[in-house]
Amino acid sequence: MSMLDKVDATTNLSKNNEVQLLVFQTQDALNAPYYAINVFKTREVVESKNHYLTQLPSSHPLLEGTITLRNMQIPVLNLSAWVGSALTKEQLLKSNILICDFNGITIGLRIMSAYRVLKRNWNEMHAPDSYSVGQGGGVVVNDTRLEDGTLCLILDYEKLLADVIPQAMVDVNEGAAALHELSIPKKLLQGTILIAEDSKTAQHYMSAIFKNASLDFKIFNNGKLLLDYIHNKENSSDIPVIITDIEMPELSGFTVIKNLRDNQKTKDIPIIVNSSMTGETNAREAISLGADGFIEKTKSKDIIPLIVKVMASHEQ
């Protein structure tokens, strides 16, 4: 799609605390809501009429089926229905499929049309208390405004995946057996892990993982809240590790890492990035700024062994 071709893939998110969003609509009605998604999670937009949809038996009602694109079988999720704006047969023919990559999983989202690419600073992204839109119970994690003041909503796409394709998400029990063979450092057992994560879905999985391991943790809805908490602490000796997402309102995870490394209190604390923005570029960027590890959210079950490994390397 031409507008995606215009995206500046070399934008230095770490320095500018910026995000580029693909703005789209799920309806062609007058005053239809605007939604957005990070362009670095998108691949392309294809016309649905050009792609045969293979139905899947006994699947979630929002999982329409699969299309074949460049020899790949891609599941198509009815985002329009999820946000409560089901399409008519005529609209379905006119609709498009937004091909995205979440946690290394390629999916298609049913939308009506892509609008434009929008650049925003993360401090222009607001995080209202989670609220539902439509009958599908889709949760809005962030919102921002278009130039004319129109509200633009960023959905919890991880919740959509968890609802429709739960097998693609984290199995919090899968890594439990391996913990018995793991030597947990005393500092990790006695300390409090700090986590910056804005997705309620991801927060749920992280909570389950650390509760299963009897580890103490504290979750913040964005990186700014985490940094404010550290700023108000007298010392940081009880923080064994800090975990941060990349996409968050107020401050991106990249900016959080930079702030932590520039702070004398936290410059030596291990940092792990837990993100759905997969790809070598994001991992490389995080490591270059001072993170010690990078893990995809679908592999969060392995985060405790990674923490132990990173903490050991810090002690050497």
Q: CATH number for the domain including 292?
A: 3.40.50.2300
Between CA 213 and CA 218 the distance in angstroms is 14
Statement: residue 13 has pLDDT above 60: no
- Write down the pLDDT at residue 178: 62
For residue range 261-293, what is the model confidence (pLDDT) as tens digits?
Answer: 999 999 999 999 998 776 677 788 888 889 999
Whether residues 152 and 291 fall in one domain? no
CA-only gyration radius of the chain, Å:
20
Q: pLDDT tens for residues 51-64?
A: 999 988 877 888 99
**Are 183 and 66 in the same domain?**
no
Reported as a pLDDT band with limits 50, 70 and 90, residue 4 is very low
Same domain, 119 and 47: yes
Question: Are residues 184 and 103 located together in one domain of the fold?
Answer: no
Single residue among 139, 167, 195 that ends a domain in this structure: 167
∠ CA 240-243-265, nearest 5°, is: 50
Looking at residue 178, its amino acid is A
Query: Would you state the pLDDT for residue 177?
Result: 58
Give CA–CA dist 296/302, Å, rounded.
10
Tell me, yes or no, whether 197 and 299 share the same domain. Answer: yes
From CA 119, how far away is CA 9, in angstroms rounded? 12
State the average pLDDT over residues 140-168: 84
For the stretch 163-193, pLDDT in tens is: 888 776 666 666 565 666 778 889 999 999 9
**Are the C-beta atoms of 233 and 197 separated by less than 8 Å?**
no
Residue ending a domain, choose from 127, 142, 167: 167
The model's pTM? 0.78
Task: Answer yes or no: do 39 and 112 share one domain.
Answer: yes
Shared domain for 10 and 141, answered yes or no, is yes
Mean pLDDT, the chain, whole residue set = 84
- Same domain? 57 vs 136: yes
Which of these three, 112, 140, 167, is where a domain ends? Answer: 167
8 pLDDT above the threshold of 60: no
CA 203 to CA 199: how far, in whole Å?
Answer: 6
Q: Determine the distance from the C-alpha atom of residue 259 to the mean position of all C-alpha atoms in its chain, rounded to a whole number.
A: 21
DSSP annotation of 300 reads: G
Model pLDDT for residues 208-265, shown as the tens digit of each residue: 889 988 999 999 999 999 999 999 998 899 999 999 998 888 888 999 999 999 999 9
Residue 15 one-letter amino acid: K
- Residue 113 above 80 pLDDT? yes
In this structure, are 186 and 123 located in the same domain? no
Q: Could you tell me the two tokens for 171?
A: 């199995």
If one counts the domains in the chain, the total is 2
Provide the CATH number for the domain around residue 161.
2.40.50.180
Higher-confidence position of 12 and 136: 12
For 222, the domain range is 176-315
pLDDT of residue 173: 66
Percent pLDDT > 70 in the chain is 85
